[in-house]
Amino acid sequence: MFDKISRATLALLGALFVGAGVFSVGFVTGSRYNTLLPAVLQPAAPAADAVVPVDKITVTPAQGATPEELQTAFKPFWETWELLQKNFVDRPLDTTQLVNGAIQGMMRATGDRNTSYMTPAEQSVMQGDMSGELEGIGAEVDGSGDLMRIVAPMKGSPAEAAGVRAGDLILEVDGVDMAGLDSSTVISKVRGKAGTKVKLLLKREGASAPVEVEITRYKITIPMVEGKLLTSGVAYVEINQFGSAVEVALREKLKQLLAQNPPGLIIDLRNNPGGYLDAGVAVASELVADSPVMVERIGDGSEIEYPALPGGLATKIKLVVLINAGSASASEIVAGAVQDYKRGLLVGEKSYGKGTVQTWLDLSDGGGAVRITFARWLTPKKRSVDHKGLLPDVLVTLTEADQSAGLDPQLAAAEAVLLQP
């Protein structure tokens, strides 16, 4: 599934997904395309959207290494373990913390911000996020750097209401410096019971000084799809998450709106950081009839094309897709297909730039889970968006002053494009 999910992988900051341990933006494989997983990650008869148990995976020797070579390679590790147990000043050491730290270090050593480890505690927090029910501040984050970065505040969340913006870096939580701390620690600081408050000090691009916000945590439900007819008659649909139910919700909304013969359709993917890969392909298929809607490139160089699903409801109507820096992963699959096939125009600001595909794999005995990047995805014309993003066809910025005044020049520009003769 492509993780509007929280990214680095998926641990909620009180319902946000975090990276570098857990990241909330990105794809994770979903049920419809599980058969396309490389053999080393292919589970036996997986449940829909399930995390794959590690004991169900056939693992081949790493790069042909012999057991003797692996034993030699791990010798310094076990020597270090023994030296810590015998010599560290504060003994006994917590074995679970040491193991978790070792796994996290192994994930980081890949150099891939989206390959990560989730502890059992983080995994329990992550469960259910894609259902849209969250408790906390409601923001997706990337924890792969020295400072945790906000990918996007969720629609209708406390974070959005407090003015948290995509791209903000978390400097402090309740006055405690977060520099260099692991994602689990930051999560524990930001999370809390509904009704309690947390203060964040944020570094914001373009701001002369750090920005402090106070957020009241609470339980929120994020609707996957919302829509209406604008006063001009243009149909407007906002997709907040690419969860497992988004296809049904989108089709219901499109049927309702298209029955009123609007002159055009706006799909709003701003601050939507992704979700299930299946959902991204399904949403793109509602808008684009051409195939493929995306291409997946596996580590061995082979490619898999994802065709448009038949029966798309909005493949003919005049179309604009809104994007910004919080549009990631599955959002970029949809936007990339629309742009490559010249199906419509992208309006807004450059997207996030998440061009890889991950799968979650359960560790045995309740040991948490690992998130592994197993492929890169490309647009239909084989463009990579990773670390680049998609450039809009019509660049329109949305400033803090606009937001404070209740203005949305990006939406206005999209509407104007569709109303042109």
pLDDT of residue 116: 85
* 381-393 core/surface letters (b: 16 or more CB in 10 A; e: else): eeeebeeebbebb
pLDDT digits (tens, 9 = 90+) for 325-348: 999 999 999 999 999 999 999 999
Nearest Cα residue to 261 out of 317, 305, 217: 317
166: nearest Cα among 269, 240, 271, 242: 271
Q: Is the pLDDT of residue 13 over 60?
A: no
Percentages of the chain per state (helix, strand, coil), in multiples of 5: 30, 25, 45
- Catalytic site positions: 329, 340, 354
For residues 16-20, give the mean pLDDT: 32
Q: Is residue 129 classed as helix, strand or coil in its secondary structure?
A: helix
Going along the chain from its start, the domains and CATH numbers come out as 225-419 (3.90.226.10)
The residue that leads in pLDDT, 126 or 352, is 352
Residue 127 has what pLDDT? Answer: 56
For 174-191, the pLDDT digits (tens) are 999 998 776 767 877 887
User: What is the structure's pLDDT at 52?
Assistant: 39
For residue 61, the model assigns a pLDDT of 52
Q: What's the pLDDT score for residue 23?
A: 27
Decide if pLDDT at 62 tops 60.
Answer: no
Averaged pLDDT for residues 273-291? 94
Chain centre to alpha carbon of residue 75: 37
- The span from the CA of 316 to the CA of 287, in Å, is 8
Burial class (CB in 10 A: 0-12, 13-18, 19+), 421: exposed
> What pLDDT, on the 0 to 100 scale, is given for residue 418?
98
Q: What percent of the chain has pLDDT over 70?
A: 81
- What the block records as the tokens of 91 is 């003994």
pLDDT the model gives residue 314: 99
pLDDT digits (tens, 9 = 90+) for 101-114: 899 899 989 988 78
